[in-house]
Structure 1
Amino acid sequence: MSEPAAPRRPEPSAVPGGAGPTTDTVLVTLTGRDRPGVTSSVLATLAAAGVDVLDVEQIVIRGRMVLGVLVTAPHDVAGLRTEVTRAAGELEMQVDVEQGTGDNRRRGEGRVHVSVIGAPLRAGALAAITGRIAETGANIDRIERMARYPVTAIDLHVSGTAPEHLRAALAAEAARQGVDVAVQPADLLRRGMRLIVMDVDSTLIQGEVIEMLAAHAGCEREVAEVTEAAMRGELDFEESLRQRVARLEGVEASALDAVYEGIRLAPGARTMVRVLKRLGYRFAIVSGGFSQVTDRLAAELGIDFARANELEIVDGRLTGRIVGPVVDRAGKAVALRQFAAEVGVSVESVIAIGDGANDLDMLSTAGLGIAFNAKPAVREAAEVAVNVPYLDTILYLLGISREEIEAADAAAGFVTPSPDLS
């Protein structure tokens, strides 16, 4: 005597990756107070009905949970509804059970990440940014919070548009709203090992080393004026540098030690380097400043490569001259390519960070160029602009959340400093 046939379940569609448009499905949505065991209880109830899970999304905001589970429809949908409603009642949660046809829709082509950063992030600003996204015909598939202090950083997963199109649409709105917006393709490159190439003065550190040295020569004001003009792109960088260095003639070489001791890193600089080094990133600094300072910075922070100008020193004093060729705008881009080749990555895997006109070639050469608290002309030309003072904000653009940073630090026995010093 043959065994009884097993009950037939709905035949899945031949569409790869799950149920197709002709398959009956059920969407179960629960809302209520978050507590341990909610997800497992709901899934156990669904398991008893013999359904397949097609999609799951869950978020928790201030202790309130929203859980959505899309499953194949059983023969007895009414029975499933009764059991899920019972389970939700025991959990003191609200539930909605909706029967339909088809799997969760396929996300549109052209997937990008849109990072929105504000300090604070006003609701009106976020509404304006999401409104511009909708106007392009793109869809927001998912929203994640990457950080809540010292800035608020939100990552929007968007589909249905090209990064270049969306970037152009959002740039003007971000400026109007006073927030930072970065648009990046949602591809594997965002998760791969990368090389970070940074400017030093007013990027990795606060202030300009040449102006600190000029204070020892009594000409800080004059040097600062030339520096500003050069960073705005109004003066040829090499000529401006030689003019400024000439004013340092006669300064004792020991002033370099005093300047180094007085350097303050940008807030978040140590955090950014520490976290990304754990993930296998490599770091380089390329500076129009001076190797006598940048080499020490590289050694202190564990930075892999450094390139800068060398001040000539004779008999313990600066001569007012540079040794060798000047590291200028073009030289920074050349250094970036050389470092990438040495690491063994393409320039598309390089992230460049800078603030001045002499960083523009470097920013445009890299796969991701970030203008950090930059001059207006640099902000307008760069792919991404960050205008908050925290260098570790770059981590949020790479999909690393503040919670992940703090958890990794805690596991390593590192006490995360207060936000303004991290």
Structure 2
Amino acid sequence: MNGSAQRTLLITLTGRDRPGVTSRLFTMLSEFPLTVADVEQVVIRGRLVLGVLVTYPEGTDIGRVWTSAERVATDLDMEIEMSTGRDKSMPSRRGRLHVTVLGAPLRPDAMAGISGRIAAGGANIDRIERLAHYPVTCIEMDVSGADPEALRAALAVEAAERQVDVAVQQGGLHRRAKRLIVMDVDSTLIQGEVIELLAGHAGCLDEVAKVTEAAMRGELDFEGSLRERVALLAGLDAAAIDAVRDQVELAAGARTMVRTLKRLDYKFAIVSGGFTQVTDGLVEDLGIDYSAANTLEIENGKLTGRVTGPVIDRAGKAAALERFAREAGIPISQTVAIGDGANDLDMLQAAGLGVAYNAKPVVRKAADTAVNVPYLDTILFLLGISRDEIEAADAADAVHTAR
């Protein structure tokens, strides 16, 4: 309207959800010279809240619209609220952020603290949706009017105080465009560290575990620490590798995560400071698209205490991420990296989204977001994939397989 204030009518219906409510309201509104400006709808425990914001030109008999809307509400046995106004700046969905909250359990004080921080920063919560109720409760909020970095910093403090996980991401196509997931292996995709399992067979577990822990904290150069630990394995029978393969356990939710992402045509990669003798089996078992890891040298059926080829260290992981993205034809901005140790830092910072998964403090501080619950599939929620969608896909696959 040439920049002039637009006349608006906000209609909110509340009541028992049933088929046809939205259709009935819009059918009535179509009888008038109105323009739809915004729509929000949510259903909680069978109770519907439907909000419709319309604009109308000067001269419209808004009293008739009001009366007709009340009649619809009466027929549907629903409550209705209406208000008129003049708005020079209609609501825009541009520049929104997704704030994802994970809790097990998720308590009211956590939501109060997070929503308070959002308000204190001058931002507004436009929409709230539950993505999952198990294995964790996941709530997602669409937030507008916030500075991403300032909000991320404020919510990180609140999350630590409330013992929940909070992720802040750009909304809209920015998140939906993520197409390549690159994940660390030891203590991320799988439980524990492969080199420590091997050390257990070699009788040097305590020595290796001590060096591993220091390397994970970033206190030691990774390549040097790897060579030091592998040297302790010299003389170990190569058959121990087979035993270790049998010992390896996937992280809780790992199969669900990989299966779901593959269904959605994501590319999935693993990059490890561990060993190809174990990661190759994971690639075959899970249908992983790309992988990179170190290789233990074996001579005459024994480990020599050396690795062959270039070491996959901190820089090597970031390089692998870039290589996988090139091979997949996917921009780096559309990648997600997941890891837990200092060796993953370059990879996490290079990716479009870096997720610290049950990580050391130095990694949590540097990553875009952190997940500290022991369920790998909760990372799906950060991508906007709900538990209901995961289960529906599983059910559809089961039916297809049965046929």
TM-score (normalised: structure 2)? 0.93
Alignment of 1:210 with 2:202, yes or no, is: no
CA-CA distance at 1:294 after TM superposition: 0.6
Residue matched to 2:23: 40
Aligned residues between the structures: 398
| Corresponding residue SS for 1:413 | helix
**Counterpart Cα distance in 1 of 2:206 and 2:384:** 41
**Counterpart Cα distance in 2 of 1:177 and 1:123:** 10
| Corresponding residue SS for 2:260 | helix
Residue matched to 2:11: 28
Gaps of 5+ in 2: none
Alignment of 1:163 with 2:148, yes or no, is: yes
**Counterpart Cα distance in 1 of 2:68 and 2:94:** 38
Tell me whether 88-97 or 176-185 shows the greater mean CA deviation: 88-97
CA-CA distance at 1:31 after TM superposition: 0.9
8 Å contact from structure 1 (residues 141, 159) kept in 2? yes
Alignment of 1:186 with 2:171, yes or no, is: yes
**Counterpart Cα distance in 2 of 1:109 and 1:190:** 13
> Structure 1 414/315 Cα, relative in aligned 2: closer, same or farther at 3 Å?
farther
8 Å contact from structure 2 (residues 178, 336) kept in 1? no
8 Å contact from structure 1 (residues 115, 155) kept in 2? yes
Gaps of 5+ in 1: 1-12, 16-20, 416-422
Alignment of 1:71 with 2:58, yes or no, is: no
Alignment of 1:174 with 2:159, yes or no, is: yes
Q: Which amino acid aligns with 1:107?
A: S
1:297-336 equivalence runs, <5 A: 297-336=282-321
8 Å contact from structure 1 (residues 54, 103) kept in 2? no
> Structure 1 90/110 Cα, relative in aligned 2: closer, same or farther at 3 Å?
closer
Deviations 1:221-269 (A, max 9, x none): 2211211111111222122211211221222212111111221111111
8 Å contact from structure 1 (residues 111, 162) kept in 2? no
1:2-151 equivalence runs, <5 A: 13-14=1-2, 21-49=4-32, 51-73=34-56, 75-102=60-87, 105-107=90-92, 110-151=95-136
CA-CA distance at 1:342 after TM superposition: 1.6
CA-CA distance at 1:305 after TM superposition: 1.2
TM-score (normalised: structure 1)? 0.89
**Counterpart Cα distance in 2 of 1:68 and 1:114:** 22
CA-CA distance at 1:101 after TM superposition: 2.5
CA-CA distance at 1:325 after TM superposition: 2.1
**Counterpart Cα distance in 2 of 1:243 and 1:43:** 70
8 Å contact from structure 2 (residues 38, 91) kept in 1? no
Identical aligned residues as a percent:
64
**Counterpart Cα distance in 1 of 2:380 and 2:327:** 24
1:231-250 equivalence runs, <5 A: 231-250=216-235
**Counterpart Cα distance in 2 of 1:332 and 1:414:** 39
**Counterpart Cα distance in 2 of 1:94 and 1:338:** 57
**Counterpart Cα distance in 1 of 2:31 and 2:333:** 49
8 Å contact from structure 1 (residues 110, 163) kept in 2? no
> Structure 1 212/58 Cα, relative in aligned 2: closer, same or farther at 3 Å?
same
8 Å contact from structure 1 (residues 108, 160) kept in 2? no
8 Å contact from structure 1 (residues 107, 160) kept in 2? no
